[in-house]
Amino acid sequence: MTRIAGTLWEGLRLTRHKLSADPDAAPRPIAIPAGWDADAGAALAALVPGEGPASLPRAAETWINRAVLRGQKSGLLDARGAVHLAEGLRALLLARRAAPGAELWRGQAAEARFVLNLPAFLEPDGGFDLEGYQEAVALGVRFLDAVSASKATRLRLGFADMAGLLAALGLAYASEEARDLAAGIAALTRGAADAESTRIATRLGAREPVALLWPAPPQATALPGLAQAAQAALDIAAASPGLRHQQILALDAADAAEALLGAETAGIFPAAGATRVVATDTGACELPTRAAMAAARHDPDRVGAILAPVSETARRALADAVMPFLHVAPPAPVAVAGPPRPHVERPAARGLLAHPRSAGGSFHAVVGGHRIAMRTAEDADGRLRELAFTLAKEGSAYRSLMDAFAQSVSIGLQRGVPLEAFADAFAYTRFGPAGQVDGDPTITRATSVLDWAFRRLALEYLGRADLPQPTVADCAPDALSTPAQQAPLLPLDLPMMAAGDAARRRAARTALH
C-alpha cells in the first residue's frame, strides 16, 4: 500500500487525464500533480507497466520502497537514513529535478540509472542551485547503491538537457562559454558523486582507489560560483582514502523518465530547434520548445542565435569538454541540425497549421490517417544533409526502423550520395500506411510514408515536378509494386556455358551421388 500520510505526497493535488504513451493504445487514467503538462502524463503512462490506472505517488513509491528496503538490508541505511532518502527522492521528483530511468519504474533493478534535469535547478534570479544540485547528485548515488543492495561497483548517474540550461543562460551551444559551463557542470557532478561514494565507502568499505590526477575544471564559467564549487567537490573526493564504486557518471540516451521531468534533450545533445512537433486531434502542429521559451526570457532578440543549428564539430567540441569528468563516453545523437534556410510561407491545408521553416525545414502531413513530421537540415549552401522523422501513430519498432533509415540516408547525403538517387529509389515504394495525404498542398496521395517524404524532398530541393500522383489503385493495400521493385535484388547475368559443359557437369554430380 502506498504510504501517503506524513510524506510529501500528503495534501498533494492531482489532476486526472485519459492518456496513453502510444497513440495506437487505448487511453488509461493517469494522475499527475496539478500544473504538470499532459506530456508528463503520457510519459508516466509509458513508464508504468500495464493498461490500468496509474498515479505518480503510487508508481514512485514502488521504486522508493524497494530502494529503502534493500538499503536497510545491506547496512547502507539506518532508520533515519531511510527516511531521508525516501523524502529526498520524493522532493526531487515533485520538483521535476531528478528521477530514475524507465528500468526502475518497470522493476528492472539490474539496469538502474538516475538522471538529473539541469534546467530544473535554475533559480528565479537566473542563478543555479549549486548546493541543491550537489545534494541531488549525492542522493542519486545513494539511491542507486541502495537499489543494488550495495553490491554494484558500476552505477549510472547522469544529467539531461544541457542544451536547455545553455539556452536559459543565453549561451549558444557552439560557443566557448557553453563548453566551459558544460565542463563545469560535469566536474561538479563528478566531484559530488565521488564524494558520496567515499562516504559510502567509509560506512561499508572502500573497493576502488581515488584518482591521483584530476582534470582541471574551468577557472570561470557563466554561472557564478560553479568553477569554485566544482574544484571544491573534486578536492573533497581526492582527499578520501578510497571509493566504493568504480564507475558512476554516465550520460545515457533519453527514455520516458526525461519526458516526465520535462527535459527536452538527453545528456549534452544539442537542442532540436525552436519548435517541436505536436500531434493533436486536428493534425500535427509546431509549438515553441522549452529551450526557445527559456532563451526568449533571457533575451527575446537572440533566440535564433542561441538555438542556431549545431555542426558535428561543435557537438564533438562540447563532448570533448565534458569527457574528462565522465566514466563513459556520451552517446552521439542520430542527427544534428543544419544552418537555417530562408523563411518560406506555405498555406495551411485541411486544418493543419503552416509555420515558418527553421533549422532546414519542417514538413507535416497525414498519410493514410497516420500523422508524420519530417525535419531536414542543410549545409551552408542550402543542400540537404540530414533528415529525421517523427511518427505520431506507430509502434516503437516501426519508429526505431524509421530512425535508423533516416540516419542511413543522412550518412549517405553527407558522403556525397545525391538526393536524386534517394528520390528515385524510394518514391512510390509501397507499404502501409498509404492512401490519402492531408496537410500537403501538392502531394494528395502516397503509396507509403517514404513515397510522400521523398517526393516532398524532390519537390523542395530538386524542383522536380515530374513525379505524378499515384492512383487510388496504386495506394490500395493489395497493390503490387512496380516491375523494377519486383526485380531480383541482384540482377546479375549468369556466365555463358556451352551445352556440352553443362551436360558433363550434370553427369559429374550424378556420379558423386
Chain segment 91-101, per-residue pLDDT in tens = 999 999 999 99
- According to the model, what pLDDT value does residue 110 have? 76
Please state, in angstroms and as integers, the Cα–Cα distance from residue 493 to each residue in 221, 483, 496, 505, following that order.
66, 18, 9, 20
Of 47 and 308, the one with more pLDDT = 47
Q: What is the mean pLDDT of residues 402-413?
A: 86
Measured distance CA(194)–CA(137) in Å, rounded = 10
Residue 318's nearest CA partner among 156, 177, 215 is 177
- Provide the pLDDT confidence category of residue 259 given band limits of 50, 70 and 90: very high
Of 505 and 275, the one with more pLDDT = 275
**3-state SS, residue 117:** strand
Average pLDDT, the chain: 82
DSSP-derived secondary structure letter, 460: I
14-19 and 28-33 beta bridge pairing: antiparallel
Measured distance CA(230)–CA(192) in Å, rounded = 8
Report residue 447 as a C-alpha cell: 503509396
- According to the model, what pLDDT value does residue 172 have? 95
**Does the pLDDT at position 411 exceed 80?**
yes
Residue-range domain boundaries for the chain: 14-261, 336-486
- According to the model, what pLDDT value does residue 278 have? 64
- According to the model, what pLDDT value does residue 442 have? 80
- According to the model, what pLDDT value does residue 333 have? 52
Q: What is the mean pLDDT of residues 263-276?
A: 86
Tens digit of each residue's pLDDT (9 = 90 or more) over 477-492 = 655 444 444 444 444 4
Q: What is the mean pLDDT of residues 69-84?
A: 96
Contact predicate 344/371, CB 8 Å: no
Q: What is the mean pLDDT of residues 373-377?
A: 82
**Does the pLDDT at position 19 exceed 50?**
yes
Tens digit of each residue's pLDDT (9 = 90 or more) over 296-354 = 988 888 888 899 888 888 999 999 999 999 988 887 554 333 333 343 333 333 332 33
- Provide the pLDDT confidence category of residue 279 given band limits of 50, 70 and 90: low
Max mean pLDDT among 38-47, 154-163, 213-222 falls in 154-163
The reported pTM is 0.69
- According to the model, what pLDDT value does residue 342 have? 40
Tally of CB atoms within 10 A around 188:
29
Max mean pLDDT among 112-116, 276-280, 401-405, 467-471 falls in 112-116
- Provide the pLDDT confidence category of residue 23 given band limits of 50, 70 and 90: low
Contact predicate 153/208, CB 8 Å: yes
**3-state SS, residue 258:** helix
**3-state SS, residue 173:** coil
Contact predicate 289/276, CB 8 Å: yes
DSSP-derived secondary structure letter, 119: G
**Does the pLDDT at position 464 exceed 90?**
no
**Does the pLDDT at position 29 exceed 90?**
yes
- According to the model, what pLDDT value does residue 114 have? 97
Of 345 and 213, the one with more pLDDT = 213
Show the DSSP H helices in 11-75 as ranges: 38-47, 56-74
**3-state SS, residue 268:** coil
